[in-house]
A and B are shown apart, each in its own frame.
Chain A
């Protein structure tokens, strides 16, 4: 389904769409307020961007350094060229452990690899432990936002779901009550799991450690009770020095939710005695994106979600309208690199207002890359309808006489023609838009009458 089609599905429930828009704007506003309380905010964004530029320009060396240090610390390292190999590696570790049930904390990367259905097909029970992720997992849905996975749902829907799945009181919509029910349910899962999977926020080349940030504490509850911790990590997640974490942790939570830091920031450097840590380093299109010079710096992304919260299109069309693992502006510049045909409408799901670029903590020029993708896509899959009208418009604007005549014709036509003709399906601009009231004369005619 194209983005406009999926967005109109979302907009059918107007009250919910309005709530979605306002709630994400509220998060964006919190981000603004807290960022303004840090005088060096813009310096931090510049630093973060420069550090990531340096990482991308030396990625091969940092990966080798990270691997060397992690191995020295007793961590197992695996390399996966694509999603399939990633999933096979994870399954292999589970089978070696004779493990049939795992707990997993929020990881966009495992969503990208469709790890859950793969493991389930192979007889493994997967329990997502972030509250929002557990909710969408119960519904068999992917997350609709990378930081707020269940932002498209209202508490009434979650109450009904929990009544069915966790036997909570019918009609009790109190978030504290529902959260506690999930706490009790997931506590059992944490205590029973032999293997826990997490994503990775940052990998530090000079120490071989990696950092995982949560507010719920679910990643830590999982990994410290399990015998084996599998951390799934994109190759672009590296930073050179431990001290660089100071820059990134100051930016991440403030950009994501407007809080000064996530409540739990765990640094994993070596396993506890008798336990194992595995890191799976994944490419899956990242080296291809690195090779595209215009789109290279999209790999700086630290997955804070700020570009989604601020985007006037995302807020009004919902995460699912994008049909890609990472939705919103950043998803619209990452996803066409993975499958240009499938995601061909995403770079057009933007007003190019540039707000995404303004809030990005690592200064990715998102709106410029959206524009660049439009050029690439139109070259490959041109749109007939719009290109025809653009040619027509170009002819009119080139000739003053044609412009004058067409102006007169259109002013009278728009007033007199039936609506069914003006809002004909061929006119894609007429969908969801009203034309302005037509003036009785052109500006030129008005000026000649009044000012000459």
Chain B
């Protein structure tokens, strides 16, 4: 007998009381969504920038390799996205569009349609996400309602820069992924 059959048969052989699946209420957050979202991003060690602040920061940094896929920010691109994602290893900055954000925790949703390579938001040294203010939701409950069962091969909630506290619980930003996250609300 295959292990599949063995496992399923073993489970079927266990008598259990039927337990109903609860319906999910629609919890919200009180107060201003933009304010709550910004606080969450700061708490996750990210930053909130205006378009002008972003422009000044990029000018000052003089990055060698920038990929900007977000609509209206393509002018910052100076590097053609390679077909092999391994060549993104020395990418300094990726500017991508977030579909929507979650006020309670700062999570921003991206899927294959925003990413030429799935590794892009992780391998880049710095990550900038552009998010429209009208696309903010109170909690993850509304966020998953919004996603619905829309199909994407890969989807990601990103809420901050790569971080670790594995050495004596000291917070260090920039473990393996992006060393910073900047969010521009437009």
Contact = CB atoms under 8 A, between A and B. Distances in A.
B149 A260 contact: no
A53 B139 CA distance: 24
Interface in A279-293: 281, 283, 287, 290-291
A191 B107 contact: no
A171 to B, nearest CB: 15
Kindly name the residue among B7, B16, B143, B166 whose own CB sees the greatest number of chain A CB atoms within 10 A.
Answer: B166
Interface residues of A, number: 90
A224 B117 contact: yes
Nearest to A257: B165
A264 B177 contact: yes
Interface in B57-94: 85-86, 89
A25 to B, nearest CB: 11
Interface in B123-147: 123, 139-141, 143-145, 147
Interface string A84-127: 01000000000000000000000000000000000000000000
Given A43-B25, A154-B168, A191 B86 contact: yes
B8 interface: yes
Nearest to A37: B104
B85 A224 contact: yes
Nearest to A85: B3
Contact of A261 (B14, B107, B118): B107
Interface residues of B, number: 72
B172 A179 contact: yes
A53 B16 CA distance: 10
Given A149-B166, A247-B24, A261-B106, A269 B151 contact: yes
A388 B74 CA distance: 80
B159 A262 contact: yes
Contacts, number: 236
B157 A261 contact: yes
A409 B145 CA distance: 72
B140 A249 contact: yes
B169 A56 contact: no
B73 to A, nearest CB: 23
Contacts of B165: 148, 257
Interface in A147-201: 148-151, 153-155, 158, 175-176, 178-180, 182-183, 186-187, 190-191
* B27, B145, B167, B169 — most chain A CB neighbours (10 Å): B167
Contacts of B104: 38, 250, 260
A221 interface: yes
Chief secondary structure at chain B's binding surface: loop
B175 A216 contact: yes
B179 to A, nearest CB: 9
A281 B86 CA distance: 30
B2 interface: yes
A129 interface: yes
A325 interface: no
Nearest to A43: B25
A272 B154 CA distance: 8
Contact of B176 (A56, A129, A151): A129
Contact of B3 (A57, A183, A283, A290): A283
Given A79-B7, A263-B163, A269-B151, A54 B40 contact: no
A85 B17 CA distance: 31
B32 interface: no
Interface of B: 2-4, 6-8, 10-14, 16-22, 24-25, 27, 40, 43-44, 85-86, 89, 102, 104-107, 117-119, 122-123, 139-141, 143-145, 147-149, 151-170, 172, 174-178
18 contacts: A50-B21, A51-B21, A130-B166, A131-B166, A175-B172, A179-B174, A187-B176, A220-B118, A235-B7, A245-B140, A249-B140, A260-B104, A263-B162, A264-B159, A272-B153, A287-B11, A290-B11, A291-B14
Given A73-B153, A183-B174, A216-B164, 11 more contacts: A54-B21, A60-B8, A148-B165, A179-B166, A190-B176, A216-B176, A242-B147, A245-B144, A266-B154, A266-B156, A269-B152
**Nearest 7 pairs between A and B by C-beta?**
A217-B177, A132-B166, A224-B119, A260-B105, A216-B175, A270-B153, A261-B105
Interface of A: 23, 26-27, 38, 40, 43-44, 47, 50-51, 53-54, 56-60, 63-64, 73, 79-81, 85, 129-132, 135, 148-151, 153-155, 158, 175-176, 178-180, 182-183, 186-187, 190-191, 206-207, 215-218, 220-221, 224-225, 235, 240-247, 249-250, 257, 259-272, 281, 283, 287, 290-291, 296
